[in-house]
Chains A and B, each alone.
Chain A
Amino acid sequence: QSVLTQPPSVSGTPGQNVTISCSGSSSNIAINYVYWYQQLPETAPTLLIYRNNRRPSGVPDRFSGSKSGTSASLAISGLRSEDEADYYCAAWDNSRSGYVFGTGTKVTVL
């Protein structure tokens, strides 16, 4: 059972901006970094955002992350067809001494 809650789905037309929320608690997001992963269909996940808002090399600046209190968000600006994928937030949880993933959000480009 995931301890980080995300909306099941988000959709938009090409060029639109969309945001995915990630709700956690005082034992995870509030006190630790948040990470975001992208999983394209039938492939392994890849790191999209690390330490709340940093992008690994090669990740377009259309993707941005933010954190406030016990919640985090991933914003995709100028949505493109290739952004259609599942997105997961994650953070270390001190009370569980373990890494927790969000429930996942499917992004659909209409």
Chain B
Amino acid sequence: EVQLVESGGGLVQAGGSLRLSCAVSGFTFSNYWMTWVRQAPGKGLEWVANIKEDGSTKNYVDSVKGRFTISRDNVKRSLYLQMNNLRSEDTAVYYCGRWEVAAIDSWGRGTLITVSS
């Protein structure tokens, strides 16, 4: 069974940093692109970033470029999102997902980030 479990969420002050992790099981992690998607309270989905199987290619939504960094450790079967200079508009539930030719075919349950101003 494919499982993705996010962790690292919490309350942080504006301007602060946070690192999210996503531990996966049930599939060969190193064979898949991975992605982060967020959802602000009561709002729609927003794609944040994705990363190639070997970490050599990364894409970001404009609003997080220069502040967020997606990375992965294929040995530890884990995906990460380093978030710096956080803003109130970054408050959201962050989901990690398995990316299969632009389809996010498996999702974690999400972790909530609250940025206080």
Interface residues of A (CB under 8 A from B): 2, 32-33, 35, 37, 39, 44-47, 50-51, 56, 86, 88, 90-92, 96-104
The answer to whether B62 touches A92, judged by C-beta atoms less than 8 angstroms apart, is no
Output the least CB separation between A37 and chain B (Å).
Answer: 7
The answer to whether A97 touches B59, judged by C-beta atoms less than 8 angstroms apart, is yes
Q: How far is the CA of A33 from the CA of B101 in the complex (A)?
A: 9
Interface residues of B (CB under 8 A from A): 35, 37, 44-47, 50, 59-62, 95, 101-105, 107-110
Output the least CB separation between B76 and chain A (Å).
Answer: 22
The answer to whether B44 touches A99, judged by C-beta atoms less than 8 angstroms apart, is no
6 pairs, CB–CB < 8 Å, chain A vs chain B: A32-B102, A44-B109, A45-B95, A90-B45, A98-B60, A101-B37
Contacts of A44 in B (CB 8 A): 95, 107-110
Q: How far is the CA of A45 from the CA of B45 in the complex (A)?
A: 9
Contacts of B110 in A (CB 8 A): 44
